[in-house]
């Protein structure tokens, strides 16, 4: 299977939307909004994408998810060239004295202050549920001159990246590494067992049991990571995935 084929992902996303009852038009609206808000980035947008390419292409990328196992990342970080934090996993990385080069977020796991305090590339994903956060976060990130790359999962062609893969921030981060041709991808903090790590949301102070919608999201995250591990062309090592 060609995991960089847009038609393949249009089909997969349609299945996922049907499972959750999500509406394609809302994904498209969110993508068009993010595209419009990043429009005046001009050369900075190109600079941000090229910086992503420089950081990932041909290199070994460690993707840190926000699952409970993220606290073990220091066991593995020395084996990799670049660290990609999935949304709230940025806090886990900082608490473990590891500073990522990239953070991937749909803007529900981090505060504006946390993102403004991050000096790497911020990959912001547009989907139907985060229109309000896009309207709130993006002006502040632009004002702070952050390196921002917009991504989307809509079938419409916008001036954003469609990285062809991923549904939650964690698996989307792994597919971002695949999109930019990482030589090897390591995954830590990818626990699919029904426990939501305390770093997943700003309001959590401890690990909690997944609520029904989150359980379904973890199900799809597991499936998409499995697809990348078995159907992709890159070596993927997961340190805490449950097979």
**Predicted TM-score of the model (pTM):** 0.96
pLDDT of residue 242: 64
| 195-221 average pLDDT score | 95
Split at pLDDT 50, 70, 90, the class of 8 is confident
Indicate the pairing of strand 195-196 with strand 208-209.
antiparallel
Is the per-residue pLDDT at 153 higher than 60?
A: yes
Instruction: Give the per-residue pLDDT at 155.
Output: 77
Q: What domain count does the chain have? A: 1
Q: What is the pLDDT of residue 161?
A: 86
Helix 169-179 crosses helix 43-56 at what angle (to 10 degrees)? 80
| Number of Cβ atoms within 10 Å of the Cβ of 79 | 11
If you average pLDDT over every residue of the chain, what do you get? 93
Q: Over range 18-45, report the average pLDDT.
A: 88
For residues 141-158, give the mean pLDDT: 89
**Tokens at 142, concatenated:** 């632009």
Q: Which residues contact 83 (CB under 8 A, 6 or more apart)?
A: 61, 62, 64, 73, 77, 93, 98, 99, 100, 101, 102
Residue 98, pLDDT > 90, answer yes
> Among 2-6, 17-21, 97-101, 114-118, whose mean pLDDT is lowest?
2-6
Q: Give residue-wise pLDDT tens across range 71-83.
A: 999 999 999 999 9
> Within a domain: residue 146?
yes
- 233: domain range? 6-238
- The verdict on residue 243 lying in a domain is no
Residue 37 lies in a domain: yes
DSSP string, 2-20: -TT-HHHHHHHHHHHHHHH
Dmax (CA) of the chain? 44
pLDDT over 70 at 105, yes or no: yes
| Domain assignment of residue 1, yes or no | no
Beta bridge partners of 60: 184
Q: What's the confidence (pLDDT) of residue 76?
A: 98
Query: In the chain, what is the straight-line distance between the N-terminal and C-terminal CA atoms, in Å?
Result: 20
Question: Please, are residues 67 and 58 in contact by the beta-carbon 8 Å criterion?
Answer: no
pLDDT of residue 40: 79
Q: What is the dihedral of CA 42, 48, 49, 53, to 10 degrees?
A: 150
Pairwise CA distance, residues 174 & 81, whole Å: 15
Return the bridge partners of 62, or none.
83, 186
56 located within any domain: yes
164 or 180: whose pLDDT is higher? 180
Q: How far is CA 215 from CA 168, 208, 242, in A?
A: 12, 12, 14
The CATH number covering residue 11 comes to 3.90.1480
- The answer to the question of residue 47 being in a domain is yes
Confidence of residue 45 (pLDDT cuts 50, 70, 90): confident
What pLDDT does 42 receive? 61
Identify whether 49 is part of a domain. yes
Residue 175 has pLDDT above 80, yes or no: yes
């Amino acid at each position: 299977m060609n995991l960089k084929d847009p038609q393949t992902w249009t089909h997969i996303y349609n299945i996922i939307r049907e499972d959750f009852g999500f509406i394609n038009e809302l994904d498209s609206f969110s993508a068009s909004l993010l595209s419009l808000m990043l429009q005046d980035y001009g050369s900075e947008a190109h600079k941000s994408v090229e910086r992503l390419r420089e950081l990932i292409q041909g290199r070994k990328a460690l993707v840190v998810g926000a699952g409970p196992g993220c606290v073990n990342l220091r066991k593995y970080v020395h084996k990799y060239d670049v660290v990609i934090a999935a949304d709230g996993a940025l806090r886990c990385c900082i608490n473990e004295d590891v500073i990522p080069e990239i953070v991937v977020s749909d803007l529900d796991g981090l505060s504006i202050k946390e993102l403004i305090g991050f000096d790497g590339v911020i990959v912001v994903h547009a989907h139907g549920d985060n229109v309000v956060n896009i309207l709130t976060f993006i002006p502040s990130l632009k004002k702070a001159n952050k390196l921002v790359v917009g991504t989307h999962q809509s079938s419409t062609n916008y001036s954003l990246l469609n990285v062809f893969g991923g549904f939650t921030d964690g698996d989307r981060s792994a597919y971002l590494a695949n999109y930019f041709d990482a030589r090897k991808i390591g995954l830590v903090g990818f626990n699919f067992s029904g426990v939501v790590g305390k770093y997943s949301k700003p309001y959590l102070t401890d690990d909690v049991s997944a609520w029904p919608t989150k359980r379904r999201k973890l199900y799809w995250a597991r499936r998409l990571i499995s697809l990348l591990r078995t159907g992709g062309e890159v070596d993927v090592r997961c340190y805490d995935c449950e097979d």
